[in-house]
Structure 1
């Protein structure tokens, strides 16, 4: 039913899927910081509509960004030329990053602190979290503050030592689900994090972050890599 609403009645689905204050998924309870992140989560996890297929191998995806990542990593896109300045970029993602920072500057300015953001939604979220919310959740152990109780609960695992997420391959435990996901990438044998400067690849995001420090000058933001489909295929084996 929810999948049908998401595909056929988008406006109604928006009202059902999003909690306006916390961007919480009504199906599984996942809380996201941004509306766009929750929308992607909902489509990936709670619908069966595969609207994008790879022209090279036929593999289907629910999110266009996942198809773009798949094409870049598996089929190695050819270099793309920027139609604004003529610069040659390694792939479409590098082109997007280049144009975003070189030609399409953030134009939405916060009237309170003058920080500039790319979209109106980013600006609204910034004002809400940085300037309007007064009540904060405070960690009684170290005094660190959080806007959401959900974030405080995750933080408390640092003090309690609780590690509820265990690897099904080697039994290593983690405090965060995201840490477990990054760990599982080691078992897949794939190296999906690729340096956009020299092309060296890494199995984990942390490896790429450390590696990028050897390159001088201003570097573009880290690429967004969706790993859910990779882990899902690995778990099926």
Structure 2
């Protein structure tokens, strides 16, 4: 949907779906324009402008609730009418007919009609006599009527009993009607639960019935508590902190919940059920167990926003859902999006757990001119500009990690690991190549090694000579051969070079920078080529043969 168009039902949010398109939700087909017409008798017109048939997720939820409420009222009305009809049938007066004798000659039935005098017949006869006297003009004539005192007394007694029965107002229902009423199923109480309440219910029940540990983030300083944002050095201390401090606190506030940016990180190391102690590998199996064995309520008709991790004290982070390994928590977090494809990028088909991450990713596809805020460099994408500013100008470095040998601080795992390898000959993590047994301190370096050396990937081709290169930077350096321009000049001896790297190597001669040291006799040289010649001529071995026992390669 276009970002410039708003929802037709609220005019406040961008549309997420189309009013005229058929969607399937929980096995039921929905056309939102037809639902508006059926529920509110509103006929929506389309075609007045481009993309005028959008509706947002919030309005879709409210429309579903309104339609369900209307159908609930209709069902209740039908059941009420059926119940009223049964009660009316039970109170209808029935006339009893009696058959006397059958005339065998003509086959005619004779019915005896029982005639009973009304309670007011005697009083009515007296009134009729008075009226007749008035009509005939016998106003002075006294009309006498012979009455039976015993009959009048009996009639009055019967009238009083009738009034007593009417005053009780009891409803008589036949046994047949009563049995039909009992067979009617009671109308279930229907409660509509919004999506935020469902998410809160799932997370609260999961924390209450298992040993899951929520956390906010994992940084170079430690693991951040999801309740109070306090940082702890490892997951065991975080569990102890939560148990002692936040045992009665709620993790999610339903009023402040933002579904577009919702994600809950859970540590599921040694995951188990609190009720029976059963162990599980992932949260899905735990939820099935709690629902079936302990009758704990979970909603399955919503997206899953719970990210699962198995945090350890190791430098290498393992994915809890597959066998992938990563050096940093940020790389693992990016990988987890592939397991939670709640929202899909239409350009590259990558999945993301919530809309916020999808929108951040979509910025990487924006092509333009993005200038660095600190220097004059211009980048084609916003992501490249942000990476340049972070790692070159260090503008957003928030955390540091220290070397365990000398306490020197670094702003990234890569810088710390490289320092440990070069200065202390120690390796924080190692990744071995299965082909040549070479070892690397970063998995990304191992991947690049396999592609470059063993798979011989050469995707960057020189347009002049056709030579291929693994990275574009190598191609750019190669193109200097064809251009032939020497723009980098030494300020001491005025020698010019085509590459800045070559000029830097040349400046070591003037600075007497002897960084290449012989491992046999400790003689140092300015250039590496000089060391190679020395090793071969004086010690009878090549530099490569001498360095073979060293299994770990510098990045």
**What TM-score, normalized by structure 2, do the two folds share?**
0.23
Choose between structure 1 and 2 for higher RCO, CA contacts under 8 A separated by at least 6 residues. 1
Which one has the largest radius of gyration? 2
